[in-house]
Amino acid sequence: MAYVVVEDFRLGLDTRRSLLVAPAGSLQKCQNAHINRGGEIEKRKALVAKYSLPVGTFGLATTGSGRYVFGSGASPSGLPAGVTYQQLAHPTAATAMSAILDTTTFDGKVFAIAQYENGDIFPFYNGTLIAAFQSGSGAPVAGLQPTCCLAFGKKVYVGIGSKIYFCKIDDPTDWSGTGAGNIPLNNTYAGSTGVTGIGVFGSSLVFYAGLATQIWYIDPDPTLNRQLQTLPNIGTTAQRSVVQFGDTDSFMLAYSGVRSIRPRSGSDNGTISDIGTPVDTLLIAAMRAAGATATAAAAGNLDPNDGRYMLAIGGTVYCFTYFDASKISAWSTYVPGFTITDWANFNNQVFCRAGDTIYLLGGDTGEEYDESEVIVDLPYIDARKSATMKSLHGIDIALEGVWQVYVGTDPENPDTRELVGTVRESTFQFDKATMDVLGPAVQIRLVNNSSGAAKVSMVVVHYEPHPTR
């Protein structure tokens, strides 16, 4: 009896080609799982409710000392131990906060940009309004409204319209002292009409607009700042999707999907990498469904333990796993059952916020799992003989956990599948999951909805050529 082996799944989720012709090792669906260092499908850890917050707080940030949330009123009752509240009150009007637009950390303290219901925007440092941004202060930033921020090289940088402003060296409350200044991006490229994000590219900074990106060398002496490169027709509207990935790459959500800026081979120049191409169709559909406002609020994070990029849009988290030594570059999705609005890392733990709850990935032990349903769809397996009819007899699987195995053979009805068995341990030393179907190829769905860890390492399909074709 012949058989075909799918040895690993290192290509991950890839929707560029149909079920019939997608390459072995890729997946058509990988929900609530990701690809691990060995190229195996691994169930994600649970997002465990850790802190229940009182109504009226916003955002989530961390410093070396703990977790922070924000609001415009006095400290609310019922704030859980382990979470610090910072009051960011409007300086002149009795108007409530409506959002935290962005945060960064400088000298172990939070720099936060708050938006209010009347449309005003003000930055705060360590819970105190930065007076320089108030109208009439006489500072270069008086009356201006920043929308994104990043601490880098002894300064805080903020985006305001088509300019980047930066503070005095070592003092984010002083925006007119030694070392303070601004960079008019529109003077160097006309497409930079509104700064939407700031990222890191090696020892330089990346300034994003909706459809323009500029890379700048940054020096403590602002007279030495200089533009290194312009990348036209690419950018982001989602400032919190911008995440530094590895030593040099800067990831962001563009109109076309997730893209990264990475060094061009043999030079220090940056080039756009279409790292998100395998899931572009999914991301574009998600952005259209979410709308412009929700897309602009998309939040990204980097898991400090596995280096996994996680991007939350609506109710789905798009995860990118990369292990260079193992040649693994793989996408997958998490569907947590709620919409994540904020991420923050603390003590190598990943926290996220949805509504008035802060969740901890993996719980306190870092190893907790739940009953979230894992769904994995392999593309059709045809033994490289797509036009040959086959008698398909069985499936062997190397796995951990409990998995239901479904098969389908009709490309015209891809959602029609038959349950062939529930597998609780690897089948190679026991009987395989048997089936008796006829077709040129077979498509396999694997489902896990039990508690505990789960993994799929290999799939083997047993078949015989059928004499009728």
CA distance 299 to 9: 27
- Name the pTM for this structure: 0.94
Every domain of the chain and the residues it spans: 2-44+374-465, 47-361
CA distance 24 to 83: 46
Enumerate the β-bridge partners of residue 251: 243, 260
CATH of domain 2-44+374-465: 2.60.120
CA torsion, ordered 315, 318, 319, 324, to nearest 10 deg: 180
End-to-end CA separation in angstroms for the chain: 17
Q: Same CATH fold, 47-361 and 2-44+374-465? A: no
CA nearest neighbour of 296 among 220, 248, 240: 240
**How would you label 319-358 residue by residue, b for 16+ Cβ within 10 Å and e otherwise?**
bbbbbeeeebbbbbbbebebbbbbbbebeebbbbbbeeeb
CA nearest neighbour of 453 among 362, 376, 332: 362
Task: List the chain pLDDT tens, one digit each, 469 residues.
Answer: 688 889 999 999 999 988 888 888 899 999 999 999 999 999 999 999 999 999 999 999 999 999 999 999 999 999 999 999 999 999 998 899 999 999 999 999 999 999 999 999 999 999 999 999 999 999 999 999 999 999 999 999 999 999 999 999 999 999 999 999 999 998 777 666 789 999 999 889 999 998 899 999 999 999 999 999 999 989 999 999 999 987 778 999 999 999 999 887 666 788 888 999 999 999 999 999 999 999 999 999 999 999 999 999 999 999 999 998 899 999 999 999 999 999 999 999 999 999 999 999 999 999 999 999 999 999 988 767 766 777 777 888 999 999 999 998 877 787 888 898 899 888 877 776 777 777 778 889 999 999 999 999 999 888 777 766 5
* 47-361 is a CATH 3.20.20.70 domain: no
CA nearest neighbour of 116 among 101, 92, 99: 99
CA distance 418 to 412: 15
